[in-house]
Structure 1
Amino acid sequence: MSSIPSLLRDRIAASPDAEAYRVPSADGWTSLTWREVGERVRDLALALAELGSGPGTRVSILCSTRLEWILCDLAVLATGAATTTIYPSNTAAESAFVITDSGSTIVIAENDEQVAKLRSVQKELPGVTHVIVIDGTGSDDGWVITLGSLSGGAGDYDAMVDAIAQDDLATLIYTSGTTGRPKGVELTHDNWLYAAGAVREIDLISPSDLHFLWLPLSHSFGKLLEVVMIDIGVPTAIDGRIDRIADNLGVVRPTVMAAAPRVFEKIHNTVVANMRREGGLKLRIFSWARETGRRVVRARQRGTAIPVTTRAEYALADRLVFAKLRERFGGRIRFFISGAAPLNQEVAEFFDAAGLTILEGYGLTESSAGSFLNRPESVRFGTVGPPFPGTRVRIAEDGEILIGGRGVMRGYHGLPEETAEALEDGWLHTGDIGELDEAGRLRITDRKKELIKTSGGKYVAPTYLEGRIKAACPFVSHVFVHGDRRNYVTALVTLDMDVVTPWAQAESLPADPAELREHPRMRAEVEKAIKEVNAGEASYATVKKFAILAEDFSVETGELTASLKIKRKAVEERHGKILDSFYE
């Protein structure tokens, strides 16, 4: 096979009447077979081709995770065009940048709300000929048409699919750079086919599994799962509504689910908080069970024998606590997969003790999302497992993780210098620092670059936000944006007392910085600036909480370099208690 559409065609031929997708409906859940998926993709592809989708063109999808996202993606690819992904949470300006930078001529939008976003920047989208709305209404000027109004054209679908080459562009996914300017990662059909084939080769899942998908398909992790399930023929239940995850798990009863660490953290924290509220005997039983489970898990990790008494205690803990937790997930989970950000080891141990093992993996958008993954039979917490078959790994002299193989991107769209830097010497430079253990498993120890990644898997450029906040408030001296491996972004702010003091005197405010930082008027000024900056950012990049420090950062305290750049580790260490309090 040479492309994702040809992979789909092979899947339909191999198991036409097997379940492909399961979606929410008025009566519960409705299923589609692979044959039905093929028919819908064929009709949509022919209609898109008549609208101008074809080799060398791009079509943007601005939509949350749902069946139509996948059908539209597969149809776009079948025409020979490439899909450009946009998060539905992106602002109008961010969406416009991705659409214009990618050269998209068609945009598929989820609803009227997303269409309104595009309308607000329509003058900046001269190359867009049509907007196709999934749930919404068409427009009198013909710029917006409904998905339901499209019908298959008279073209030759199989000829279109046969014309697609392995090295043709399949996907453009934009990731934020350190300057805040997103870069379009060019991923080919072969990139995705390799990654999906590698998952099949390690024999992780089978057609007898049921996969539950809620992850954003705009993210490379979600896109990889889409291709993997077609390759192996695994049925997928799809519902991108995050507030429905818990309920859906109990109804769908999947065997496999992937998620960003934040989901597992939230579940863990919710369970612990509920037990603390219950108090009394329930809390004592839960705490005992949790500690018993931790001892068993750590013994397994060390490869040491578990005493008979501990095994008996663990069996009781399982009956009283862990079995109930498994039932909340439908009672059939074989394992979870965690990616997009580091997983807290204590959370991993908690789930493993409950018989809900999380397989942590690692990859970048630039490496087709998947490069390393723990295997069920040899999980080692704190690592992201060994590389996928065919993925090469090397640790540079400075500790940076370098990746090679078919999964590595073609380059950054329209950015030859950035591409050359990222793919220097034929290796993808990840920007992460790590080491390999004796079994070839990768352990990530640090980030080489300052780009931070939330536990939800979203990249945020801290220096970009810091600069904008400082520019928005004249009283601010330094801003430290925090959020790496956290579930949202926060900030520490210091005051420029040379500027603040005259203002404070005029307003009859305290002159002492320790008092002034707590004053409502001072906080209001900083908060106003942060809100102003937040208004222009995607929700995941907005500063949710902040604190004003009594003292400025300085070279003397070790928080600034000689060139007055912030030393991030030093600030985190010195103000760790404040930063941790943001997330309690």
Structure 2
Amino acid sequence: MREFSLPALYEVPADGNLTDLIHRNAAQHPDVAVLARKRGGRWEDVTATDFLTEVRDAAKGLIAAGVRPGDRVALMSRTRYEWTLLDFAVWSAGAVTVPVYETSSPEQIAWILGDSGAVGAIVETEAHEAAVESVRGRLPELRNIWQIERDAVELLRAKGSDISDAQVDERGSLADADSPATIVYTSGTTGRPKGCVLTHRNFFAECGNIVERLRPLFRAGECSVLLFLPVAHVFGRLVEVASVLAPIKLGHVSDIKNLTDELAAFRPTMVLGVPRVFEKVYNSARAKAQADGKGKIFDKAADTAIAYSRALDTPSGPSLGLRIKHKTFDKLVYSKLRAVLGGRAEHAISGGAPLGERLGHFYRGIGFTVLEGYGLTESCAATAFNPWDRQKIGTVGQPLPGSVVRIADDGEVLLHGEHIFTGYWNNEAATAEALSDGWFHTGDVGTLDEDGYLAITGRKKEIIVTAGGKNVAPAVIEDRIRGHALVAECMVVGDARPFVGALVTLDEEFLPRWLEEHGKPASSTAADLLHDPELLAAVQQAVDDGNAAVSKAESVRKFRILPGQFTEESGHVTPSLKLKRNVVARDFANEIEALYAK
């Protein structure tokens, strides 16, 4: 058993709750832009004073509608300004927010709203409202539905016109640090989602210590972040609360299809995302360079960036020759890549899945450092992250200050600290299984080095044991294979089988470019190309790269390309893009059997 901890950098308030943050900001930084919203195609600043006023007005409407202290209010929307506004309004009414992914099915909505006992639901669109109405007969506690696109904010303001500011402030002060702030339902890779109860204390401990440890990235009044992650996910919620706590300017983007344009317009000083975002930026840049006849230059620049970054970790640092090459490529290539990411940002925080060592070195080498972190819903997002001044690429960093990471004898990662959830809503059995003597059992397998840097090597329940008795952690090789521009998703199989195999789906955004480059009909789909020799050879390159990261016994011997995608709509991934392995294995049982057919 091994464990590591760091002293807390932020003192959690003995009482009070998250609404104190917006009152503090209005008092101490009244004219500072703490948020920005898009209107008429342009970004508009929202000062701390204006934000407090808008939150109060919405909270008045909730109170007038009969929302009582401790009541649960569901919030179902894409990432937008109103999400943060209404989240703080729910808290200011003394209630508890229950986030719902905007892609949720009526069945999922019925379970989350029913299990939480939500008395109200704030939805974004007419389609969302229709989905809630379709299951309303199963929700006896639900009294009100408000729709953002049908003037929910204005309607709440009007309804609460007789409620005073003092009444709102009194209501908002009722919750203390240990009161529930939100119930976040897990994505549910197996079985029904469980509601993680996160308190105001959890968020204070989480966000306060992150902001203090990464203070150069959270300079009050100077820094900004553009949030495009789902705020229904705990990582997005971390960004929201940490930005208000710092405070730094927070913007929201609902549609990531135009993300590069939004980054260029907003020009954030920091970017937060999942590895797939950074993979796509790299792959798109490389593909564009190849299309322009500059593929060799890009590859040399990438190799130089990686070598430069690796040299930074050596006692002597980069050689003179490497520094000269790096400076040349900075003008030709790296500056253009940084411009794609907004032009001002020098740091990003990545979570949700491993980024990969090579990509980590590439980004640091171009002057855009991606700090990997690790966490779960139950740990209120990040429980470990790389510090800005002592990054160790290939790890998910050191423990959150004020918390402890322990590696059990069987390799499982255990967590302890004020950021750990208090339990699952209405589920004592699941709570007892996850929490033991104050320690949360993550189900993840990992290691700690001598400096307390954590590396995640897999999931306890996802470890594959081949017929030859070899233990295989799927994540290691899957992440490498997925790094190829042509690959969208990869799932390793092989439990009780003679060797390791893989199911692969193709990236629909990159496929048309590949078709053009290889003289294939533009109308070709993945289903048309399942046996195409050139495509198979390209995917084999991705598999070979993945195999280079593991031993021969763990390497993928055979793979199958699937005709479609693993999507949330198909039921094969969660809203946070985690594979539902049991569902994939069930739905593609024939393809898996074909891998092992003689």
- What TM-score, normalized to structure 2? 0.76
Asked whether the 8 Å contact 2:113–2:139 carries over to 1, the reply is yes
Matched position secondary structure for 2:114 = helix
Shift of residue 548, structure 1, vs aligned partner = 4.6
Compared CA separation, residues 347 and 91, structure 1 to 2 (3 A): same
Compared CA separation, residues 546 and 304, structure 1 to 2 (3 A): farther
Shift of residue 106, structure 1, vs aligned partner = 0.1
Partner of 1:362: 374
Partner of 2:511: none
How far apart in 2 are the matches of 1:272 and 1:375?
29
Shift of residue 137, structure 1, vs aligned partner = 7.4
How many corresponding residue pairs? 490
Partner of 1:231: 245
How far apart in 1 are the matches of 2:563 and 2:151?
39
Query: Is structure 2 residue 205 aligned with structure 1 residue 194?
Result: yes
Compared CA separation, residues 531 and 297, structure 1 to 2 (3 A): closer
Partner of 1:503: none
Structure number with bigger Rg? 1
Asked whether the 8 Å contact 1:44–1:152 carries over to 2, the reply is no
For residues 320-343 of structure 1, give each alpha carbon's deviation from its aligned partner in whole angstroms, at most 9, with x where no partner exists: 111111122222102011012211
How far apart in 2 are the matches of 1:481 and 1:347?
22
How far apart in 1 are the matches of 2:591 and 2:130?
41
RMSD of aligned Cα (Å): 3.3
Query: Is structure 2 residue 448 aligned with structure 1 residue 439?
Result: no
1:367-382 pair list within 5 angstroms: 367-382=379-394
Partner of 1:534: 570
Query: Is structure 2 residue 291 aligned with structure 1 residue 277?
Result: yes
Partner of 2:413: 401
Partner of 1:4: 18
Shift of residue 178, structure 1, vs aligned partner = 5.2
Asked whether the 8 Å contact 1:133–1:147 carries over to 2, the reply is no
Structure 1: stretches of 5+ with no match in the other structure: 139-143, 464-479, 489-525, 558-584
For residues 381-403 of structure 1, give each alpha carbon's deviation from its aligned partner in whole angstroms, at most 9, with x where no partner exists: 11011111101111100011111
| Larger RCO (CA within 8 A; separation ≥ 6) | 2
Partner of 1:181: 192
Shift of residue 550, structure 1, vs aligned partner = 8.2
Shift of residue 153, structure 1, vs aligned partner = 3.8
1:132-531 pair list within 5 angstroms: 132-136=146-150, 146-147=155-156, 149-155=158-164, 156-177=167-188, 179-202=190-213, 203-204=215-216, 205-207=218-220, 208-279=222-293, 282-450=294-462
Matched position secondary structure for 2:286 = helix
Shift of residue 406, structure 1, vs aligned partner = 0.2
Compared CA separation, residues 137 and 193, structure 1 to 2 (3 A): closer
For residues 156-203 of structure 1, give each alpha carbon's deviation from its aligned partner in whole angstroms, at most 9, with x where no partner exists: 122112221111110111114453210000000110011111023212
Amino acid at match of 1:421: E
Asked whether the 8 Å contact 1:133–1:146 carries over to 2, the reply is no
Asked whether the 8 Å contact 1:43–1:153 carries over to 2, the reply is no
Aligned-pair identity in percent equals: 35
Asked whether the 8 Å contact 2:71–2:95 carries over to 1, the reply is yes
Asked whether the 8 Å contact 1:91–1:536 carries over to 2, the reply is no
Matched position secondary structure for 1:163 = coil
Matched position secondary structure for 2:450 = coil
Matched position secondary structure for 1:21 = strand
Asked whether the 8 Å contact 1:133–1:145 carries over to 2, the reply is no
Compared CA separation, residues 64 and 157, structure 1 to 2 (3 A): same
How far apart in 1 are the matches of 2:235 and 2:567?
31
How far apart in 2 are the matches of 1:55 and 1:427?
30
Partner of 1:19: 33
Matched position secondary structure for 1:118 = helix
How far apart in 2 are the matches of 1:227 and 1:158?
19
Shift of residue 303, structure 1, vs aligned partner = 4.0
Amino acid at match of 1:288: K
Asked whether the 8 Å contact 1:54–1:81 carries over to 2, the reply is yes
Asked whether the 8 Å contact 1:57–1:81 carries over to 2, the reply is yes
Partner of 2:145: 131
Partner of 2:512: none
Compared CA separation, residues 313 and 56, structure 1 to 2 (3 A): same
- What TM-score, normalized to structure 1? 0.78
Structure 2: stretches of 5+ with no match in the other structure: 1-12, 464-473, 483-488, 493-500, 509-561
How far apart in 1 are the matches of 2:588 and 2:277?
24
Shift of residue 121, structure 1, vs aligned partner = 1.7
For residues 52-94 of structure 1, give each alpha carbon's deviation from its aligned partner in whole angstroms, at most 9, with x where no partner exists: 2222210000101111111111011112110000000111111
Shift of residue 16, structure 1, vs aligned partner = 1.0
Asked whether the 8 Å contact 2:61–2:158 carries over to 1, the reply is no
Amino acid at match of 2:451: A
Shift of residue 350, structure 1, vs aligned partner = 1.7
For residues 16-44 of structure 1, give each alpha carbon's deviation from its aligned partner in whole angstroms, at most 9, with x where no partner exists: 11001111111511111010000011111
Query: Is structure 2 residue 120 aligned with structure 1 residue 106?
Result: yes
For residues 255-300 of structure 1, give each alpha carbon's deviation from its aligned partner in whole angstroms, at most 9, with x where no partner exists: 0111111111111111122222223xx2221111111111111111
Matched position secondary structure for 1:254 = coil
